[in-house]
Every structure is written in structure tokens, then in C-alpha cells.
Amino acid sequence: MPIFEYRCSDCGAEFEELVRAGEQPPCPRCASKKLEKLMSAPAGHVAGTLPIMGPGCPPVDAPPCSPSCCRLPQ
């Protein structure tokens, strides 16, 4: 099952969820089904190496990655 990232349209919570094809999880904070699927960086793993992470925004608790970070107001 793939992991998808979502943002709740009702309360604004962002979360990740393992989802089967065709399913849509409820928001863990408010149980709403009004969710926006977010774009996330692909990750891969090659046997014997560390995971390969694609470009993307840093975690919420990390400082912005650059002056044009997608978490900064534009």
C-alpha cells in the first residue's frame, strides 16, 4: 500500500496515511473526508544503501531550505 500525504480542507491538518487503491481516509483530527492529496517527494531504496530522497520541502519543524522554500509566504 502506498503512503499518501493529505491536507484536511476543514481543519487544515496535514498527515500521511497508508491507503489502498480507491480508499480515502478520514482526517485524524476532525474525521472530515474533505481532503486534498498533496504532492510529495518520491523516495526509493536500493539494497545496501541509504534511502534516496527526491527534492522537496523540509519537515515542518526544520528551518526553511531556501529563500524560495514552498513553506514561506510567496
- pLDDT at position 4 is 87
Burial class (CB within 10 angstroms; exposed 0-12, middle 13-18, buried 19+) of 67: exposed
Kindly report, residue by residue over 31-62, the tens digit of the pLDDT.
Answer: 999 999 887 666 555 565 555 455 556 666 76
Q: What percent of the chain has pLDDT over 70?
A: 53
Q: Tell me the C-alpha distance between 69 and 55, whole Å.
A: 11
- pLDDT at position 35 is 94
Q: Which domains does the chain have, with CATH numbers?
A: 3-42 (2.20.28)
